[in-house]
Chains A and B, each alone.
Chain A
Amino acid sequence: MLWRRFLAVFIKEFVQMRRDRITFAMMVGVPLMQLILFGYAINSDPKSLPTAVVMGDSSPFARSIVTALQNSAYFRIVESPVSEARADELLRLGDVQFVVTIPVDFTRDLIRGDRPTLLVEADATDPAATSNAISALISLNDTALDHDLKGPLASLKNAPPPFDLQIHRRYNEEGITQFNIVPGLMGVVLTMTMVMMTGLAMTREQERGTMENLLAMPIRPVEVMLGKIAPYIFVGYVQVTIIILAAHYLFDVPVIGSLPLLFGSAIFFIAANLSVGFTFSTLAKSQMQAMQLSFFYFLPSLLLSGFMFPFRGMPEWAQWIGEVLPLTHFLRIIRGVMLKGNAPYEVWPNLWPIAAFMLAAMALALLRYRRTVA
């Protein structure tokens, strides 16, 4: 008897599982997605990091050092030579990870045996991204000039190394992980909660049978959408405030840039995530499905945005996906403003992609909304 009743439920569950396409897709899709992302996209030892070189001296020695940097595979020279001011800007914008400064009179001091100092500045807002590259640097000053130090200069090869290396971890002197994680968490928390909040918005109307009544009333889809999104912008701001307070008072994360700029930029990110949630809720048939769909958004956001793993460690295709996701850009904005003190014009390159994403998600949601009328 027990067996038969067990079988009744067992069979029914299978039949229902087969009907629920999204759950089925989840069961196959999520492991596949995780395998691909973890297996191919993630690399905790990022190489060929963009580097700018300030050439105070363009002697063969200096060029040998630049070559040695590139040969290490960790550094990819993207701009050289650059002025100090430009180098600083590139670092603030996050366009380069390192700035190498070869000082004026480098060659003269080297030949004299005065052991000139080579300055390497690293963007340490993500300590994980730079640590291996910095380790690789340590051996550089021993070997970089081996070929150049010939004849009368051969004596310089002997220890101590012919030049000094000074490594400057910018924006995060001590390489504290929290400086990277805590601001990033703001983006992650907003992504998860905001998408879920509106993800339920339309499916709840569907499930409770209030949708038809809403559709029969003289109200436009855009009015419904904005009306449903707007209240959660306040919720988002409450979260932003809590995290900033916690970052500052619990974790001593500096807030170098302007808070109004941070709050101003956050609205686009919050609205973008709310729009994604709203889109999901027009695609899904039930609240359960909306939840499941949002999982397909969280996973790449978490893994490909540079939150958990260094963005520049990922292969190009994964970086392209990452560039589409609002979280990627928001992480850059929030780290830029809090740690680097970015100004509005430095935030803009990461702000417009979020705004564009938001508009696209809203357009899709409205398109889908109209179709649900039928």
Chain B
Amino acid sequence: MTLAIDVQGLSKSFDGKTVVHDLTLRVARGQICGFLGPNGSGKTTSIRMLCGLLKPDSGSGTCLGYDVIRETDQIKRHIGYMTQKFGLYEDLTIQENLQFTARVYGLDRRNERVEASLERLGLHHRRNQLAGALSGGWKQRLALAACLLHEPELLLLDEPTAGVDPKARRDFWDQIHAMAAQGITVLVSTHYMDEAERCHEIVYIAYGRLLTYGSIHQVIAEAGLTTWAVAAKGDGARIATLSQDLSGKPGIDAVAAFGAGLHVGGRDAAALERAIAPYRSDPMLTWQRTEPNLEDVFIDLVARAENDPRAA
């Protein structure tokens, strides 16, 4: 199994503030790796370091076998990077944008590739429309098509589905899986838990530090979290006060709203049971042991990272 991404100890700081701290990441070829973490956790900076846009302050490694510090030109040639914000020209037409991209990459059979790309996109009849006139979902498809023109082996997608409707999101993910099946490696950052669940493996970072890494099952299992689901009879007011009461109690590591109820989690099952015992007799509440989901795990991870003195 060869690695598409293999970096160790990448760090980057801006104006003395560490944005990414000691990031070590290995992603096998053909995998879809979900990159998760709160806003400002260093996801974009990490992706920029991987694609040669930013030079890490320290650390080393390779992307597609090319050195992330010295061979950035080679990396840029072989990866596709989709920026968080629409990065194509709004005052160029769809076709002109694709032509421009193809020219920059110096592709042969340019017209043929652009035609094929328009065909795949289903934008054949709208080729002369200005990119600025497209809706969010179409812009995202165009941006993806532009980064696929040069047939990259690795795709780095920075929150590609932000502001995109559910149907377009589902189509997008179908496409990602189709590409992975062809052997393309995909690193995709997202805030959506349902998208995380579509990934082969996930990476969770917060405060610039990698908190967990692995398949969803591994991540959940390693968190060692015991979770109780609480539901309330009547209106939701009881749940809101309960959530405040429980947060921060010893033994309770994560409280999260889940549907009309709550998920209450703790790493120490016995301590958790002691903490919730006084509430379990409440006739208005029903308690039930449940499997922790990704969100529970992440809430616990972030809470733990917050209390970590190293997280400045």
Contacts and interface: CB of A to CB of B under 8 A. Distances in A.
A220 B160 CA distance: 26
Contact of B55 (A210, A212, A214, A374): A374
Contacts of B52: 216
Contacts of B106: 218
Looking at A210, A212, A218, A374, the one whose CB has the most chain B CB atoms below 10 A away is: A218
A209 B83 contact: yes
B76 interface: yes
Interface stretch (B87-95, B179-187, B197-205): B87-95
A214 B76 CA distance: 11
A214 B146 CA distance: 12
B129 interface: no
Contact of B101 (A208, A212, A217, A373): A217
Interface residues of A, number: 13
Contact-residue size bin, chain B (C-beta under 8 Å from the other chain): 20 to 34
Given A210-B87, A210-B88, A217 B55 contact: no
A135 interface: no
B53 A373 contact: yes
B54 A374 contact: yes
Contact of B85 (A209, A214, A215, A374): A209
B104 A217 contact: yes
Interface string A190-222: 000000000000000000111011111111000
Nearest to B85: A209
Given A210-B88, A373-B53, A374-B54, A216 B77 contact: no
A285 to B, nearest CB: 16
B53 A215 contact: yes
B119 interface: no
B298 interface: no
A374 B76 CA distance: 16
Contacts of A209: 83, 85-87
B83 A216 contact: yes
Contact of A216 (B51, B55, B86, B89): B51
Contact of B90 (A208, A213, A374): A208
A210 B81 contact: no
Contacts of A212: 53, 83, 85, 87
A210 B77 CA distance: 18
Contact of B104 (A208, A210, A218, A374): A218
B105 A217 contact: yes
B76 A218 contact: yes
A60 to B, nearest CB: 76
Nearest to B75: A218
Contacts of A217: 76, 101, 104-105
Contact of A213 (B73, B77, B87): B87
A218 to B, nearest CB: 4
B90 A216 contact: no
A214 B88 CA distance: 9
B104 A219 contact: yes
Contacts, number: 41
Contacts of A215: 53
A151 B52 CA distance: 93
Contacts of B89: 208, 210
A212 B85 CA distance: 9
A213 B83 contact: yes
A213 B88 contact: yes
A216 B75 CA distance: 9
Contacts of A219: 104
Nearest to B77: A218
Interface in B208-238: none
Contacts of A373: 53-54
Given A373-B53, A374-B54, A374-B55, A216 B81 contact: yes
Nearest to B76: A218
B5 to A, nearest CB: 16
A213 B89 CA distance: 10
A201 B90 CA distance: 15
Nearest to A217: B104
Contacts of A214: 87
Contacts of A216: 51-53, 76, 81, 83, 87
A218 B53 CA distance: 11
Nearest to B92: A210
Contacts of B85: 209, 212
Contacts of A208: 89-90
Contacts of A213: 81, 83, 87-88
A374 B90 CA distance: 24
Nearest to B143: A213
Looking at A208, A213, A215, the one whose CB has the most chain B CB atoms below 10 A away is: A213
Interface string A230-245: 0000000000000000
17 contacts: A208-B89, A208-B90, A209-B83, A210-B87, A212-B53, A213-B88, A214-B87, A215-B53, A216-B53, A217-B101, A217-B104, A217-B105, A218-B73, A218-B76, A218-B104, A373-B53, A373-B54
9 shortest interchain CB distances as A-B pairs: A213-B87, A209-B85, A216-B81, A218-B76, A218-B77, A212-B83, A217-B104, A219-B104, A213-B83
Interface of B: 51-55, 73, 76-77, 81, 83, 85-90, 101, 104-106
Given A216-B51, A218-B76, 6 more contacts: A209-B86, A210-B88, A216-B53, A216-B83, A374-B54, A374-B55
